[in-house]
Structure 1
Amino acid sequence: MGDVQAVLSALAVFQGAPDKASLNRANTWLQDFQHSPDAWATCNVLLLTPDVPLPAQVFAAQTFRAKVTYDLHQVDAANLPGFRDTIVAALQRYHKGPKTVIVQLCLAIAGLALQFPSWTNAVQFMIDSFGRNPETVPVLLEFLTILPEELNNNHKIPITDDEYAEREAHLLTANAKQVLELLSMYIQATGVTHAVQSQVFDCLRSWLIAGEVRVTQLVKSPLFAYAFEALASDSLFDSAVDVICELIHETQEIDDNMPAIELIVPRLIALKPQLVNQRDEPEKIKGYARIFSEAGETYRMLLLQHPETFFPIVEAIGECSAYPDLDIVPITFSFWMRLAQTIGKKPSISPLFLEAYRALVQVIISHLHFPSDSSSVTAQEAEDFRSFRHVMGDTLKDCCLVLRTDTCLLATYQMITTALSRSPEAISWQEVEAPLFAMRSMGAELDLSDNDAIPKIMALIPSLPNHPRVRYAALLIISRYTEWANLHPEYINAQLQYVSAGFEDPDSEVCGAAGQALKYLCQDCKQHLVEFLPQLHTFLGATGPKLVQDDRRQVYEAIAYVISAMPMAQAAESLRTFSVDILARIHAATNKTTITKQELEDVGDGLENLEVMLHVIQGFGEELPPACRTSCKDAWDILDTFLVKYGADYNMAERTTRVIRHGITLFGNSALPVVPFVVARMSFAFEATGYPSYLWIAGKMIQNYGGEEDADLRGSFREVYERSTNSISSLLQTKSPSDIPDVIEDYLRMLASMVTCAPDIFFESSAFPLAFRTAMAAMTLIHTDIIFASLDLFSLIFTHECLNPDLSIPKPPKFPIYSSAIQAVVQKNGFQFLGYLLSGLVGDFPEDSISIVVSIFRAFALIWGSQLLSWLPSVLQQLPISVAPQQVQAQFLSDVSRAVNDKEYDKVKYAILALNRSSRKARERRRTSGLDR
């Protein structure tokens, strides 16, 4: 009874309000207990002992299921019949519930049946045990429902594919006819309850999904008629819908199932009046929408070939699409999409389908209308509706595929003109905005050569009502149609005027839409907008200060696109004009004795605007235009002075370094004279602040200029390496790596650039051992990017050519120095390094990092094989048994020892993969161990 009491005590922890440590201890103990051989007997006692608390009953049943899945090898084959009888007896005892216990025990029996080939009559055994007594029939139905699901979905059971195929045929295929007859008997048995009938339908659906009950068999059984008749019952409606949908789905092999389809379709069409009769019952309409949509998708080829017979299904789906409940409408969208894709390939289309899609356009646009009373809608509902409008927009694109985009656009245009023809007080803004949104959605499918619909829309836009939602929608149409405008430049001037006016609107969303429209206009029509650049400069000076930063940034981005279309010399001059404006404001702010918070924010905004311009323009090639030749030093002098004064402000540091990053791209090697000064500033700034952005830029400088021989430059690289390493080492005396993840990541990436571009500095410096230990500590972080950065760095170190043992390959004179440095850190830190590496492998390393681990471990085995074998037993002992069981550790040690001793280093890969696979299975078992609370 000791284990029983221990289980009860551990489970009791979860019933109170324990601290997290107590919860974790109890959870770990229970998971470890589930692995043990003693769990079989203990859980049997728990299930059969009266008055055991419900959590203990559930845990015992879950444990049986888990152990059948993972640990059936612990039971001697001769004892399997007795174990089976034990579970069946428990199921008899709990036949009235709770359901969670019944489900887990049924899962255990299903898993046992799959692994117990000498149990040749498992299904009949369960029918005999539970099918005779009306009180236990629900348990039998639960088992029969679970059996195909478990056999098809539980891939953790350790049997071969051949064994699985043999047992599946024996358990399912051989019993399908009998199960169908049994379900037919139960569905119409005297005194049968709706609960049992619902279970019958659920069971039938499970066998249909598994492909074991054939449609040709089903339509000949009483269950076929009962499924359709059950739609009249509130209690059975949902189960009947599920079965009918699955029945239809299983007839998708049309030619093989035509006799069944000929029986199904009349029953479907007979349901169509229910869409009117049940109009006030949304849940019923949802069920019918599922049935009709499933039929429409499955029979879409028949719809097109025989519309006279099948078109009522399309009409029914159309009625469901028009239903006002927007939870129901999207059920139909997949049908309309698939049908449109099929119709789009046909040379001719029946007028019936053209009319159906015309009606669908009207229906979808009616659904796009915002509520007339927004106060009745919660913020979440409003957000959900906005998101759903884009989903509906995708269905409008399907309509374009069938009807052609210009036809849909003209129909939508007509809706707006019809609304505008009425008196202003008789028009709601929703009547105009919804078609505009539709035009925007359909713009993704527009024909760039269209000279009919789009010119009408463009002429209409300036005359639209001056309502913010309407202006917003119209501006986004301009955004979407900019590629068309590029081919029809005569419309650009009018669009530019409408967009410019949008920046004057007091509504912030309208201003944002104007910024987006200007950005895309300038991006797609940049060649045509070069002549407008002076106007844009004037506009920016006059209107820019009034805009919020997001909108102002979009204007700068737009201008940058226009500049990028200019001839190089003119583009450089224009970039200089806009850059000087920004840099002058930064310089003026730096020279102020005192500065307000708002003024500093304005400087940050200016830096962001400069960044976005540089990002768009990129560069001018290797030969800088005259306008840029002194710009690099001039810009750096301003930014350097600014950093000296405000570099301790985190946001200013981020903004400035991003500008510097794009400056590297713009100036390329022309920046070499200032690079040592930039790197030095980054070094001192990081030392003073600890901000990762300074290391990020230092890394980019090393990456771009690491191959240069300039002494000052290389001195600056060494200085930033050593200073940052000492700073981070000091930080880690008081902080965990998890406290400074951004710093660690940018530091590691800087080191990786240095190994690749300046290995002499990296390996020869006294900072190397400290850097190595810092990178080791980074492997303990549960952070994918940082783990990859640290592993990438170690891969560069351990696979460096200086370690290549092949003496026939000539090596540069410094390679022995590099090799000695690596040898020294391995002798001092190798044991700890291996511990971190293997702990991560069986722990939190991302799955796609395994190839890097293999590369590192193989190099380690090749160069330090004897040390590896001497360290490995102790390293493995440190791994948690829960994810690296003893037998797995022993196998890994054996595999690695054999690979090293036989000098077959490529076999290290298989040892690593096997260890990872075993630990992953152990972790997965603990994750899904069934401790559901």
Structure 2
Amino acid sequence: MDSIQALLSALDVFARAPDKVSLENANSWLQDFQHSPEAWSTCNVLLLSPDAPIAAKLFAAQTFRSKVTYDLHQVNAANLLPLRDTLITALDKYHVGPKAIITQLCLALAGLALQLPAWDNAVQTMIETFGPNPATVPVLLQFLKVLPEELTSNTRIPVTDDEYRDRSAKILTVNSRQVIDLLSMYNNASGVTPAVQNQIFECLRTWTVAGEVDIKTFCKSLLFDGVFEALASDELFDSAVDVICELIHETQEVDDNMSVIELIVPRIIALRPKLEECKDDPEKIRGFARIFAEAGETYRLLIIRHTETFYPIVEAIGQCSAYPDLDIVPITFPFWMRLAQTIGKKASVEPLLLEAYKALTNVIIRHLHFPPDATTMTGQEADNFRSFRHVMGDTLKDCCLVLGADACLLNAYGLVTVALSRGGSVSWQEIEAPLFAMRSMGAEVDPSDDNTVPKIMDLIPSLPSHQRVRYAALLIISRYTEWVNRHPDYISFQLQYISAGFEDSNDDVNAAAGQALKHLCQDCKQHLTDFLPTLHAFLKTTGRKLAQDDRLQVYEAIAYVISAMPMEKAAESLKTFSLDILSQIHTAAGQVTPLSKQELKDIGHGLENLEVMLHVVGPFGDHLPAACQNSCREAWSVFDVFIAKFAFDYDTTERTTRVLRPALALFGRSALPIAPALLSRMVSSFEATGFSAFLWIAGKIVGRFGRESEPTLQRSFQELFERSTNKLVSLLQSTAARDIPDVLEDYVQMLLQLEDVVPDVFYQSSAFPLAFRASMATLGLIHSDITFAALDLFRNIVTHDCFSSVPPNPKNGLYAAAIKAVLEKEGFDLVGYLLSGLVGDFPEDSTSCVISILRSLSTLLPSQILVWLPVVLQQLPATSAPNEAKQQFLVDVSNAVDTRQFDKVKYAVLSFNRASRKARDRRRVAPLNE
């Protein structure tokens, strides 16, 4: 009684409005209870108790299902059949409901049937127990419905593959004919209710999905007729649609199922008039669309082989595609895509199918129309419609595959010209929709086309100046730039049209102009070098008025043009555009009065523009052009003063350091003379601010110049390592690691560079022990990138070549001594972090790293690890590391160490991880929701 009262108290927490702590405590208690052997008897008492609350009875039923899945080993073999009888008795007791309890008990019985060979006639037992009484037939149907679902989908049931094949065949396959006959009998029984018929169809669907229904035999049964007849019933319609779709899907091996297909297809074609009869009922149309689309996809090869016979299905799908409800239309899209892909492999196309895709093209363009009053749409509706337009655009590409891009584009072109010919009476939607279609089909255009695309390009100047139309036209230019590269005569006009787009008052039009300019410059850069002065002038005038996102695209576009120029000219052009930004930074650095937020923001935008230019132009190589010979020192002198002044502004720091990375790539080894000064500024700025960006760029500098033997630079690396480590240690004394994840990540990434390229600095510095301990703090964070970086670092340390290199490195002894000294001091905590993370929050892919580290620790410090492990394992929570798994892991590692077979540590970790994951997966679902 005490356990029942405790259980009821825990469940009562969920009935109130609990605080988070109470909810978590109650949930944890219930999960622990579910794992216990006592749960079997306690839940049995609750299920049979008339006074227990419904929530407790439901929990008891859920617990039986869970324990049958996970804990059947807790039941003595002699008690397994009595357990089955207990569950059947409880199911009979609850045959009137609640349905949730019936479902959980049915799932428990299904799982038990799979694991209990002694119950060799599970289906027959349930039919004999619940089938004769009309009041309990719904219980039988629920069991038969969940049986194949549970057997095929619950992979947590502990049976081997061979056991599964044997048991599922005896439970499902052997009984499938009897089950179909039973369902047919119930469906044709006098007085059968729609509720029972729905259960019959749901049961039929699950057995069909499981592949246990012989379609040829089924199609000769009365139930086959009954399913199609049920489409006339509002109450049975949805479940009948589900069954019909599954039946069609089961005949996808068309050559083997022609006799069945000959029975199914006439019934499907006979449904076509329903599309007109039910046109005002979207839910009915949705169901019919599913049936027709499933048939079209499944029989697409037959549609091509026997087009006239199967064409009514294509026509019906076309009607569904044309339906005005855009939630229903996409049901048909997979059919059109797969049929187009199949047709595309044929030498010729049936005229009927060509007509179908021509009609589809017009249908899709009609669907692309914005509503007459777009202001009636909510923000979410507008976003959804815009997203769906791109999906419809993909279907237009399918039309191009069948009809050819020229034909589809000319169709859309014709719609625009007809609309324009009507003058002022035309709506913008009639022009914008076919323009959008042209944009969607742009990827299918042949860049060498001289027939269709010129007509489209010549059309653009005559388009009305409506913002939506201008936006669509600009995006057409953006999509057709590869074609423009082959037809450069159009560039001058397009630059004018794009420039006008930047002057529009609409932000979307500005953004489209930026995108068009970027793609034009990217694809046509060889033709645009003469336009560079014009673009520079544009930036100094109109460019100042643009939003930053649009201005950034202009800078990116210009950089593409610069990247196509000869090196000397590219250097001069890059310097011209960069000086505009550098002068802004220089002025800010020398300004006496504090900058406003807006002024700092403007400088940040300038830095962002410079970054994208440097990134696109890329490195010039080791030999800089004359225009850049002194640029590195000059630019750094500006940045050095600027960083010193504005280091405490986080956003400015982020932007400044991001520019330094492509700048270092641009200058290459020419930046070597300033590297010590750059590192000094980064480390002093990190000491002053604690901002991670300074460590991030410092790590990049180490990676780029670490292998240079210049003494001053090597001293700079040591200074960086020691001062940044001292600062980080100081930060961790006053700030929790979880509050500075960005700093820890960039610090560890910097250490990875130091360890790799300057091991002398890393291993022989007094900062090494401090860095090792500080890095362990990252293993307690729930952050995949940091975890992987830290594990890589520790793996590099404990598997260093100093322990195995041949021929030996003279410094190996020094490295090995430093590593072992740190491991002897920090090894216990490291093992604790590793195992805690392994059974906790480490990413799944990190297991191999953990294995490597633990294997090396076992090799380097075998006696110590055997002392550390029992204490560490004791501290791990049993909820994620079961006691049996801990004991087995300790035994396995001890055997590996004692026999000097250290490779066996891998298998010990893998087994421990599997046991832990199984325990965590079980607890991941709250008991009340399982």
CA contact (8 A) 1:632 1:671 kept: yes
1:38 paired residue number: 38
Within 1, Cα distance between the matches of 2:705 and 2:308?
74
1:337 paired residue number: 337
Partner AA of 1:864 in structure 2: L
Q: How does 1:444-463 map to 2 (within 5 A)?
A: 444-463=443-462
Within 2, Cα distance between the matches of 1:182 and 1:832?
64
2:904 paired residue number: 907
1:841 paired residue number: 838
Structure 2: runs of 5 or more not aligned: none
**Which of these residues, 872, 875, 878, is aligned with residue 872 of structure 2?**
875
Partner AA of 1:533 in structure 2: L
CA contact (8 A) 2:622 2:668 kept: yes
Partner AA of 1:343 in structure 2: I
Within 2, Cα distance between the matches of 1:470 and 1:345?
37
Are 2:912 and 1:891 aligned? no
Within 2, Cα distance between the matches of 1:801 and 1:80?
57
Within 2, Cα distance between the matches of 1:294 and 1:17?
46
Q: How does 1:3-14 map to 2 (within 5 A)?
A: 3-14=3-14
Partner AA of 2:819 in structure 1: I
CA contact (8 A) 1:231 1:237 kept: yes
Deviation by residue 1:730-759 (Cα, 9 ceiling, x = unmatched): 111122111011011000000110000111
Deviation by residue 1:527-547 (Cα, 9 ceiling, x = unmatched): 011111111111111111111
SS at match of 1:673: helix
Deviation by residue 1:332-352 (Cα, 9 ceiling, x = unmatched): 000000000011111111111
CA contact (8 A) 2:111 2:150 kept: yes
Within 1, Cα distance between the matches of 2:462 and 2:588?
44
Partner AA of 2:809 in structure 1: P
1:499 paired residue number: 498
Are 2:165 and 1:168 aligned? no
Aligned-residue RMSD, C-alpha: 1.0
Partner AA of 2:701 in structure 1: M
Partner AA of 2:914 in structure 1: R
How far the C-alpha of 1:468 sits from its partner, in A, is 0.7
Within 1, Cα distance between the matches of 2:526 and 2:127?
79
Moved more, 131-140 or 726-735: 726-735
1:862 paired residue number: 859
1:347 paired residue number: 347
CA contact (8 A) 2:289 2:332 kept: yes
Q: How does 1:297-336 map to 2 (within 5 A)?
A: 297-336=297-336
CA contact (8 A) 2:802 2:812 kept: yes
SS at match of 1:271: coil
2:248 paired residue number: 248
Partner AA of 1:731 in structure 2: L
SS at match of 1:653: helix
1:825 paired residue number: 822
Within 2, Cα distance between the matches of 1:373 and 1:716?
66
Q: Identity rate of aligned residues, in percent? A: 65
Are 2:573 and 1:577 aligned? no
SS at match of 2:257: helix
Q: TM-score, normalised by structure 2?
A: 0.99
Are 2:636 and 1:640 aligned? no
Q: How does 1:458-857 map to 2 (within 5 A)?
A: 458-594=457-593, 595-804=595-804, 809-857=806-854
SS at match of 1:191: coil
CA contact (8 A) 1:63 1:929 kept: no
CA contact (8 A) 2:31 2:927 kept: no
Partner AA of 1:325 in structure 2: D
Deviation by residue 1:467-520 (Cα, 9 ceiling, x = unmatched): 111111111111111111111111111111111111111111101110100000
CA contact (8 A) 1:66 1:929 kept: no
2:89 paired residue number: 89
Partner AA of 2:447 in structure 1: L
Partner AA of 2:923 in structure 1: R
How far the C-alpha of 1:704 sits from its partner, in A, is 0.7
How far the C-alpha of 1:838 sits from its partner, in A, is 0.5
How far the C-alpha of 1:813 sits from its partner, in A, is 3.0
SS at match of 2:929: coil
1:102 paired residue number: 102
2:188 paired residue number: 188
How far the C-alpha of 1:763 sits from its partner, in A, is 1.5
Are 2:917 and 1:920 aligned? yes
Partner AA of 2:198 in structure 1: S
Within 1, Cα distance between the matches of 2:636 and 2:11?
65
How far the C-alpha of 1:376 sits from its partner, in A, is 1.7
Within 2, Cα distance between the matches of 1:17 and 1:718?
57
Within 2, Cα distance between the matches of 1:76 and 1:363?
67
1:79 paired residue number: 79
Moved more, 705-714 or 330-339: 705-714
Within 2, Cα distance between the matches of 1:864 and 1:179?
64
Distance 1:915 1:158, change over 3 A: same
Moved more, 706-715 or 346-355: 706-715
CA contact (8 A) 2:703 2:757 kept: yes
User: Aligned pair count?
Assistant: 929
How far the C-alpha of 1:260 sits from its partner, in A, is 1.2
CA contact (8 A) 2:197 2:236 kept: yes
SS at match of 1:359: helix
Within 1, Cα distance between the matches of 2:553 and 2:9?
62
Are 2:133 and 1:133 aligned? yes
Deviation by residue 1:44-95 (Cα, 9 ceiling, x = unmatched): 0111111311221111111101110111111111111110010011111111
CA contact (8 A) 2:859 2:902 kept: yes
SS at match of 2:928: coil
Q: How does 1:192-203 map to 2 (within 5 A)?
A: 192-203=192-203
Within 2, Cα distance between the matches of 1:868 and 1:924?
29
Structure 1: runs of 5 or more not aligned: none
SS at match of 2:780: coil
Q: TM-score, normalised by structure 1?
A: 0.99
SS at match of 1:50: coil
Partner AA of 1:839 in structure 2: S
How far the C-alpha of 1:817 sits from its partner, in A, is 2.1
Within 2, Cα distance between the matches of 1:854 and 1:707?
31
Q: How does 1:210-221 map to 2 (within 5 A)?
A: 210-221=210-221
Within 1, Cα distance between the matches of 2:98 and 2:400?
54
Within 2, Cα distance between the matches of 1:554 and 1:608?
11
Moved more, 445-454 or 35-44: 445-454
How far the C-alpha of 1:929 sits from its partner, in A, is 5.7
Deviation by residue 1:232-284 (Cα, 9 ceiling, x = unmatched): 11000000000000011111111221111111111111110010000000000
How far the C-alpha of 1:193 sits from its partner, in A, is 0.6
CA contact (8 A) 1:187 1:197 kept: yes
Partner AA of 1:842 in structure 2: V
Within 2, Cα distance between the matches of 1:8 and 1:734?
45
How far the C-alpha of 1:373 sits from its partner, in A, is 1.2
Within 1, Cα distance between the matches of 2:466 and 2:375?
18
Within 1, Cα distance between the matches of 2:331 and 2:419?
30
1:434 paired residue number: 433
CA contact (8 A) 2:873 2:886 kept: yes
